[in-house]
Structure 1
């Protein structure tokens, strides 16, 4: 696809899925790229994992000497990617004249055999030409001199290979001419068909954003809880859920930084086990094995890119990003690949990935790199569904449909629409307001995309006053969308302006005094309730 270099890590995940599914023991995952693309960090991340796990990935780097106008000696130290990668263990590296079909065939056969023998990945560095400019908007005469372009033209395999076929007596000129004419007819017919194709129906713009077959907002995903034991922490509930789902479906795999109990299996019985920095995945590896629960390098794009490759093969990966603050290296994979696969393939491909990430502040010392929210960045992307939940263990078969809010407190005078860490703080504020004679309803959205508009509308019609509270910065935050829609669709129901509560437009400070001043506190909510009640 167009995002440069995203295919490498997906190829690694694809190869991993092949080994886990064990459908074809001799399969090879082929991954092609240009020389410029090898400058992307994800190329090196993929080589690291493919070599480390001896995965059967065959890389073909077609090196035409340029990444648009940037020459290879500027892109690559020493001007040769194959020289740079030779130190990777178990990586077969071969260099070939990519304009020579027979030499290319021989080298690729060797590389494929290396991969099929499970000796590790292979990289073929093919020197090719670029017979014309990069694109219609590019004019290579602006940066390539005439002698250089003429030298490339002499190596053009569309000229040199037919000459070899005639020289060896394999084909006559009239046969080659007939073949060229046949190819020209085929290409022209395809072009004519494309030009004659009708324009798409404008109503189809939103088709395939989501699955046409599965609606996770429907009652099919609504089951009754069967709680057992005392109320548990969020960590306990997540751990129990992962245990249930891995046991239920053999295609579920869990991986990320520090999620395993102990990567060195010889030591597993001698240690308690890590199981995540918050213990969310504790004992999963011990129970289900290292093939299904395993650690990854400290590389977020690596985690998500591999998850995409696995999901396209039919696995159900649960990829963990340790903190939301560190999710950004994976954003290219998440925004430009994962979210688009179904839509741009017209439902031919799907990518069922769960990305689990710890987010938010109130950690007392989390500061700027362990306190970020930013959920609105992902709710802005079609496809992503975000959830926040809590409570006692409801049993292995309990499900809540997406887009179903929970009315966690009934009230008459005003409504607080909230989610995440602000739910508990809103409940405390509501109890304090009750002592002052103010009845506050609290609505926990639980799901941000989609969200439960009908529950919001019902509550606003009842109380006629509403506060939207969230942890992230107030400006351009998630609450702005909710507040705008209330004003647009429920204006006649309101007895006061919609009020928003959010963090200050700055970053979370390390000092607890600063953190308390920056993030919304119970006192902030209580004061907003008083102001709205007085309006």
Structure 2
């Protein structure tokens, strides 16, 4: 009879030790079985956890409601957590009933019922989602814990540091475990990991011998208790061995010495743990051998059965790519009046969501009060609930990654990227997790969320990283919804639909339209994939979206005669309304796209390709489709660059006139040489004052300068200098207030002020005349002095006809 275990040699009861040993052997022998099957040509790929098995002991400290974000060598941990040998075998054979439906590599563990999050291949990409899940638990007041593991090589990824920082900042209940086997495929990491380099505070990390199962269990117990008690994240650095090749596509004998490979087996965690049990009388050598053989046969049976299971179905290739499209029956009543701005509509929609949807969480740079976001979109939210409207760090990958984990947990993230141009540090999270999570887990996991970002140009001074639109980049990513509203009603309706949807949705808000007053009609939830017909016509189908909706409207208003053009605001980019466009083109016989994005791989090109592949549409065409677009060029800081790059009135009108005058036959017969790129003819002095180049004049008009991204109007709060006052260059003449700040307007010359054309309390527009300035030594300029004030209630086109024309000058693209 076996002797009872000595309590001095183990922290576990005998039954627990035996069950844990079985998990260790199931992991090891499962790995060996898969290696054997690969050599028999019965699988495609294998990656093992041999040498890392001791981490299973950490799972003993977790509760069922805890979450696990394990990495690909955590086979033993996942088995101890509750995955079965059949689960592993189905994943190896990529069967339809596997956790991924046959879509993921082996080692990419997932189980929704066990809260094991679906692992992505890009290393470290799961760590920020782990923080998101932990934040969700924290928001709900639960004492749950999140386990997140990685290899030491992954600890050089930026997402690792962002995750550690975010977890510490918010005191999240995350247990980070680094499994250090000292090699990244073939590259030694012993001197280049962040602990060795002194980048991490080693005093915060429990350093544990990964060959000692009892030591790993003890470290895990301490770490989990720390996190569960609300003391913030805990950190374990576990020294392990990698007994196998990196994967079945590798042979470590090519780059590791034979004596090194031989010596490492002295640190086999299973052998050491089993020997301790034999020493304590829980096992004999014979019973240990029998246990191993028993489990080996179980593995053979499990893999044999799984090999005969059903394979994936080809017709299900796009199954679970998206959730079902749905549109809310109603949305709360918004007090928008007869006209308002997009930002007002979005802000009120956010408040309605905050009031009626307790799972919605807002997060982004500067979104909390008093700032309320750089565009005031989140104004007032943090005053209502500071736990659900939170400033993010200046870290886009954190914003994107945390949103995925928070949504996976069950919240409804509505997160802001301050400008869409800055989203690319978080691009890995978008394409690796947001877009793939539902599909790669065969519908087990999902992440319904909203990421919104101001986008686009037509605002001087934006330069490279405040002027791109970028919708084509998102539309090409399977699994992502993309919308671009151009009116306050559509902005509110699309946000409301997206907030109730089942998918990650990118909402791009055109900056040029953000602050523009627009007439508001009915506000309702807007279905995704349904375009808006702006005006009906019979001669041309003109499809556009975003900032270009306003541009097209301006062109049509200024063209002579009744131009019978059907204008369609696409507004939903992915999915998009093929039927509406096809029906319109079959009616008009002509198709024109006006877009702000780059031409190559763009939404415009996609629409033209799709329409031309439809036989009925192709037969109805009277002329070749035309795309007016930004070229594959960046937007520069000087407005000359910006207006040269973007579509303008002149080019849109010219393209429209040519399209109406041409037929398909005459176009095909003409051997037209490509039109040369046209340089902009716009003088930068038309757009911004220049001390050095301004021509001499005896008098000039002081006007309202550019007040910030997209801001069009301001209120005069004080007049600081009076008519007849002598002023010097740089003197403040008056102060105006916008939604974002109070701005002094200064003189740029010495002189004497004429009569003010506005009064305190008046609303003024960018470019509006304020007061004439008689410069020293000059005669009065009668035109400048007598120029009438612009009525405060005038529309932008009425108030700034010259500015509007200057904005549209130039062009760079052939249509």
Shared fold (TM-score, shorter chain, > 0.5): yes
Task: Provide the residue aligned with 1:278 in structure 2.
Answer: 375
SS in structure 2 at match of 1:496:
coil
Unaligned runs of 5+ in 1: 262-272
Asked if 1 retains the 8 angstrom alpha-carbon contact of 2:434 and 2:480, the reply is no
Q: 1:29 to 1:77 in 2, by over 3 A?
A: closer
Q: Are 2:364 and 1:256 equivalent residues in the alignment?
A: yes
Asked if 2 retains the 8 angstrom alpha-carbon contact of 1:364 and 1:515, the reply is yes
Q: Are 2:268 and 1:156 equivalent residues in the alignment?
A: yes
Unaligned runs of 5+ in 2: 1-118, 497-522, 663-815
SS in structure 2 at match of 1:104:
helix
Q: Residue 150 of structure 2 is aligned with which of 24, 28, 33? A: 33
Asked if 2 retains the 8 angstrom alpha-carbon contact of 1:69 and 1:143, the reply is yes
TM-score by length of 2: 0.61
Asked if 2 retains the 8 angstrom alpha-carbon contact of 1:430 and 1:439, the reply is no
Task: Provide the residue aligned with 2:407 in structure 1.
Answer: 311
More helix by share: 1
Task: Provide the residue aligned with 1:265 in structure 2.
Answer: none
Q: Are 2:614 and 1:518 equivalent residues in the alignment?
A: no
Q: 1:224 to 1:283 in 2, by over 3 A?
A: closer
Task: Provide the residue aligned with 2:170 in structure 1.
Answer: 53
Q: Residue 241 of structure 1 is aligned with which of 341, 346, 349? A: 349
Asked if 1 retains the 8 angstrom alpha-carbon contact of 2:172 and 2:232, the reply is yes
Q: Residue 658 of structure 2 is aligned with which of 528, 531, 534? A: 531
Q: Residue 16 of structure 1 is aligned with which of 116, 135, 154? A: 135
Q: Are 2:578 and 1:453 equivalent residues in the alignment?
A: yes
Measure how far apart 1:166 and its partner are: 1.5
TM-score by length of 1: 0.92
Measure how far apart 1:190 and its partner are: 2.4
Q: 1:228 to 1:239 in 2, by over 3 A?
A: closer
SS in structure 2 at match of 1:356:
strand
Q: 1:223 to 1:453 in 2, by over 3 A?
A: farther
Asked if 2 retains the 8 angstrom alpha-carbon contact of 1:221 and 1:401, the reply is no
Distance 2:314 2:488 in 1: 46
Q: 1:221 to 1:328 in 2, by over 3 A?
A: farther
After TM superposition, the structure 1 stretch with the greater mean CA deviation from structure 2, 225-234 or 309-318, is 225-234
Distance 2:488 2:258 in 1: 74
Say what the alpha-carbon RMSD is for the aligned residues.
1.9
Measure how far apart 1:357 and its partner are: 0.9
Q: 1:390 to 1:102 in 2, by over 3 A?
A: same
Alignment of 1:80-119 (within 5 A): 84-86=199-201, 92-119=204-231
Asked if 2 retains the 8 angstrom alpha-carbon contact of 1:409 and 1:427, the reply is no
After TM superposition, the structure 1 stretch with the greater mean CA deviation from structure 2, 488-497 or 391-400, is 391-400
Asked if 2 retains the 8 angstrom alpha-carbon contact of 1:465 and 1:494, the reply is yes
Q: 1:224 to 1:316 in 2, by over 3 A?
A: closer
Task: Provide the residue aligned with 2:427 in structure 1.
Answer: 331
Distance 2:282 2:419 in 1: 62
Measure how far apart 1:47 and its partner are: 0.8
Measure how far apart 1:158 and its partner are: 2.4
Q: 1:392 to 1:476 in 2, by over 3 A?
A: closer
Q: Which runs of 4+ in 1 moved over 3 A?
A: 220-228, 390-397
Task: Provide the residue aligned with 2:325 in structure 1.
Answer: 215
Q: 1:245 to 1:523 in 2, by over 3 A?
A: same
Distance 2:152 2:391 in 1: 30
SS in structure 2 at match of 1:75:
coil
Distance 1:37 1:404 in 2: 43
Distance 1:10 1:134 in 2: 25
Kindly indicate whether structure 1 or structure 2 has the higher relative contact order, using CA contacts under 8 Å at least 6 residues apart.
1
Give the paired residue count.
Answer: 511
Distance 2:474 2:240 in 1: 40
Alignment of 1:119-158 (within 5 A): 119-158=231-270
Q: Residue 427 of structure 1 is aligned with which of 531, 550, 553? A: 553
Q: 1:8 to 1:222 in 2, by over 3 A?
A: same
In our comparison, the structure showing a higher alpha carbon Rg is 2
Measure how far apart 1:52 and its partner are: 1.4
Task: Provide the residue aligned with 2:763 in structure 1.
Answer: none
Alignment of 1:330-349 (within 5 A): 330-349=426-445
Distance 2:316 2:329 in 1: 27
Asked if 1 retains the 8 angstrom alpha-carbon contact of 2:343 and 2:488, the reply is no
Q: Are 2:277 and 1:169 equivalent residues in the alignment?
A: no
Measure how far apart 1:398 and its partner are: 2.2
Q: Residue 527 of structure 2 is aligned with which of 401, 407, 414? A: 401
Measure how far apart 1:534 and its partner are: 0.9
Measure how far apart 1:61 and its partner are: 0.9
SS in structure 2 at match of 1:199:
coil
Distance 2:563 2:314 in 1: 49
CA deviations 1:309-355 (Å, max 9, x no partner) are 11111100011111111101111111111111111111111111100
Q: 1:392 to 1:502 in 2, by over 3 A?
A: closer
CA deviations 1:355-393 (Å, max 9, x no partner) are 011111112111111111221121111221111224355
Distance 1:438 1:128 in 2: 74
Asked if 1 retains the 8 angstrom alpha-carbon contact of 2:175 and 2:224, the reply is yes
CA deviations 1:398-441 (Å, max 9, x no partner) are 201001111111222211101111111011112223x1453222
Q: 1:198 to 1:136 in 2, by over 3 A?
A: same
Measure how far apart 1:226 and its partner are: 7.7
Q: Are 2:103 and 1:6 equivalent residues in the alignment?
A: no
Distance 1:486 1:437 in 2: 27
Measure how far apart 1:157 and its partner are: 1.7
Asked if 1 retains the 8 angstrom alpha-carbon contact of 2:205 and 2:234, the reply is yes
Asked if 2 retains the 8 angstrom alpha-carbon contact of 1:92 and 1:111, the reply is no
Asked if 1 retains the 8 angstrom alpha-carbon contact of 2:332 and 2:352, the reply is no
Q: Are 2:417 and 1:321 equivalent residues in the alignment?
A: yes
Measure how far apart 1:180 and its partner are: 0.7
Q: 1:392 to 1:477 in 2, by over 3 A?
A: closer
CA deviations 1:450-482 (Å, max 9, x no partner) are 111111112112211110111012232110110
CA deviations 1:145-184 (Å, max 9, x no partner) are 1121112111112222222221222211222112112221
